[in-house]
Structure 1
Amino acid sequence: MKFQTIVLAGCLGIAALAPLTAPATADSVLGSPDGWYVVETDKDYATLLNDLKEAVKANKMAVVTEAGPTEVAAQRGATIPGNRVVGVFRNDYAVSIIELVPAAMIEAPIRIMVMEEPDGTATLAYATPTTVFAPYMADGGGELEELAASLDEIFADIVADASRDD
């Protein structure tokens, strides 16, 4: 299996992310399946989650859903690392994709996971929109490929912004 990890290069925008063909570090609780990008940060879980939400807004997207087991587990007396899945999308993309391949909308919103690491830092991980929409490309053709590629750039910018040290 081929793994992809993103390492922050310290630049702005999409150029800040350099894909590698190596697994996430051994300390990471997240693997990186094909088509996934994993960005390890020095930020703590709460800060990274907040910075992710701010980056979503700054990149003109919307948080559509949020789900995470951490708080509910704590109510039951179980302690697990911080974990939140944030669904991100925008209506104009939804309309365009529905017009091309209605079934593809089962994949929206695109999810970004924030996971607390054992050392107190936090990691972002997501499957690229191109990967998520790949099963529908034959039906959606070049237009869906263009939409997914555009979303790839936006999601790379969101993750770069969220993981950037201020």
Structure 2
Amino acid sequence: MIRAILATCLLALSLAAPLAAETRWPDQGWQVIPTAQGYDELLQALKQAVEAEGMFVVTEAGPTEAAASRGVTIPGNRVVGVFRNDYAVRILRLSVPAMIEAPMRFYVTENDNGSATLSWKKPTHLLAPYMEAGGKELEAVARELDTLFAAISQRATDASE
């Protein structure tokens, strides 16, 4: 009986392991670009692209280094907050609650094969809940930010070519 239970548990774990490793990104509002770049290379290229497009890295957070300090190894994982004060002022004038979405973030993740993926939620998606209050002007700001984020991602992911 114990062997049957143990065998069932091992089978369940072996079937679940590949599913846990698979990354499934949400369909709505996300942009996801798998690259051939390594994690550190993509992270550096992203920071350079942010600066080249006139934006600023205002926050960074990721569990990889903290986990390593505890002796736990996980793939590279970093959230990079990007924004600029003139956008903050414009958004605040249109919708105070919308500023909870700033800074807007890029997400750099290391893949099992050593490559990295760049992803982000589009600013129009993030600001959509506030469009009724902010009107066409907030929609215009969100579209400008969509264009900037696309330009940043293009620069960052073209860096290795």
Alignment TM class, shorter chain as reference:
0.7 to 0.9
Q: Which runs of 5+ in 1 are unaligned?
A: 1-26
TM-score of the superposed pair, with normalisation by structure 1: 0.82
SS in 1 for 2:37: coil
1:157: which partner in 2? 151
When the two structures are superposed, what TM-score results if normalisation uses the length of structure 2?
0.84
Q: Return the alpha-carbon distance in structure 2 between the equivalents of residues 31 and 152 of structure 1.
A: 19
* Alignment counterpart, residue 108 of structure 2, candidates 109, 114, 120: 114
Q: Tell me, what secondary structure is at the counterpart of 2:60?
A: strand
Structure 1 residue runs of 4+, over 4 Å off? none
Q: Which amino acid aligns with 2:149?
A: F
CA drift of 1:33 comes to 3.3
Q: How does 1:29-108 map to 2 (within 5 A)?
A: 29-108=23-102
Larger Rg: 2
The whole-number CA distance in structure 2 between the counterparts of 1:128 and 1:68 is 20
Shift of 1:124: 0.4
Alignment coverage as a number of residue pairs: 140
Q: CA deviation at 1:30?
A: 4.8
Give the residue type in structure 1 aligned to 2:137: E
In structure 2, list runs of 5 or more residues that go unmatched: 1-20
Q: CA deviation at 1:31?
A: 1.5
| Alpha-carbon RMSD | 1.2
SS of the residue aligned with 2:25? Answer: coil
Question: In percent, how many aligned pairs have the same letter?
Answer: 54
**Partner-residue secondary structure (3-state), 1:156:** helix
Counterpart Cα distance in 2 of 1:86 and 1:33: 21
